[in-house]
Amino acid sequence: MANKLNIGLFGFGVVGQGLYDISISKNLNFEFKKIAIKDSSKKRTLAESLFTTDRWEILNDPDINTIVELINDADAAYEIVTEALKRGKNVVSANKKMIAIHLNELVELQHTYGASLLYEGSVCGSIPIIRNLEEYYDNELLFAISGIFNGSSNYILSKVFNENQSYDAALKKAQELGFAETNPILDVGGYDAKYKVVIAAAHAYGVFVNPDEVLNIGIQNLNDMDLKYAKEKGQKIKLVPIAKKINDEHIGIYVLPKLISKDNFLFNVENEYNGVSVQAAFADQQFFFGKGAGGHPTGAAVFSDISALRYDYRYEYKKAKQRLNLTLNNNKVIEVYLRFNSPELLDKINFVDISENYISKNYRYVVGTITVDEIFKKKDLILEDGAFIAETNTELK
């Protein structure tokens, strides 16, 4: 028999309202007891008595046994989630930054206090990738997880490639639709995708990685020459995070734009949709596709977690328990396209090898091999130059 859930909801923005819309259409054994908001003066469609600006009114209520955290502030989310777990309350969260940064600690809190933290909505919206990594691939040898993890950047790239919109116009539209934040750097800079792939790697490989040690460069320096280069080769540019097993001791994780050819599943993933590719020893390659941005898609993932809590579901972190002892290694060599402005930039970057070097009055680029660690070290130089770097379609052994 399903447990009765009395829910304290933190946040009533796009995802919070999407969750509420979904929940009222179902007759399940749970109830929203109280909703915490920041602005009490804002007009709501629900009864005023349902809302509060005092987090402790929810956290200290013994009748509330489940916390759903859907706020943007990662620091505040961390305080709310840890306090809830320490009180033995189960938690559902969609805050990928908070979870990625504190996941190891949050796992320990769950074990110590016997509570459950679920966060399917934090990675790729409506795609149930965490549950699949936990259950379907629990005893599978995984070679790599990659894909399109950020619906906002993918929406922008779709508009500039398919409709010839300017980058700025596409970004503005993404913000109007609620896909991108007012400060879009978390999306277009690859931070959002990095937090998500770090979380996915914990379930795929049992490794808890500090996001600060993971390379992320996004699409913020994309220009028309980069688009022309990709189109001339019959390719598209996508922002692709990857977690890849290098050997029995090391895993590589990074986020870069990538040149995608037509034979790649990701080539046709457009707009706010996400696509996750899982490469496994026995199942081979499998592909998951679904909406990665918007209130209802993310709300649906949160709703699924709430429903699972009615039956005492919790992540078992099976790969971590196997003690594979994998560690992050940034020495993987990849081939990249680098379009740059200052000729001096090349003198400051150590390529393993340069196979193509093009220089004209207004356009300079090289194609060559380089370690992820070297890009990580020279990230600030690359971005300050206005340069754009993308992994090519060439897979190096």
In this structure, are 308 and 369 located in the same domain?
A: no
Strand segments (E) across 174-263 = 215-216, 236-245, 250-260
Write the pLDDT tens digit of every residue in 124-146.
Answer: 988 999 999 999 888 878 999 99
> Of 60, 15, 14, 13, whose CA–CA distance to 33 is shortest?
60
pLDDT, mean of residues 32-53: 88
**Tokens 């969260």 correspond to what residue?**
93
351 part of a folded domain: yes
Span of 151-155, 271-275, 319-323, 373-377 with lowest mean pLDDT: 319-323
pLDDT, mean of residues 166-186: 86
In this structure, are 87 and 28 located in the same domain?
A: yes
In this structure, are 46 and 117 located in the same domain?
A: yes
How many whole angstroms from its chain centre is CA 164? 26
Provide the residue type at 152 as one letter: S
In this structure, are 94 and 33 located in the same domain?
A: yes
Domain region containing 39? 5-129+296-321
- What residues act catalytically? 196
Write the pLDDT tens digit of every residue in 241-264.
Answer: 999 999 989 999 999 999 999 999
- Count Cβ atoms within 10 A of the Cβ of residue 362 and give its class: 0-12 exposed, 13-18 middle, 19 or more buried: exposed
Write the pLDDT tens digit of every residue in 5-35.
Answer: 999 999 988 788 888 888 776 667 788 999 9
Token couple for 16: 């919070």
pLDDT, mean of residues 65-73: 94
pLDDT score, position 365: 97
179 part of a folded domain: no
In this structure, are 100 and 11 located in the same domain?
A: yes
Q: For the chain, what is the domain count?
A: 2
Residue 127 makes CB contacts below 8 A (sequence gap 6+) with: 274, 276, 288, 289, 290, 292, 301
246 part of a folded domain: no
104 part of a folded domain: yes
Strand segments (E) across 110-193 = 117-118, 142-148
The mean predicted confidence, pLDDT, of the chain is 92
> Of 95, 369, 336, 101, whose CA–CA distance to 214 is shortest?
101
- Count Cβ atoms within 10 A of the Cβ of residue 141 and give its class: 0-12 exposed, 13-18 middle, 19 or more buried: exposed
Kindly tell me if the per-residue pLDDT of 179 is higher than 90.
no
Kindly tell me if the per-residue pLDDT of 293 is higher than 80.
no
188 part of a folded domain: no
In this structure, are 303 and 396 located in the same domain?
A: no
In this structure, are 26 and 68 located in the same domain?
A: yes
Q: How far apart are CA 203 and CA 110, in angstroms?
A: 16
145 contacts 278 by C-beta, under 8 angstroms: yes
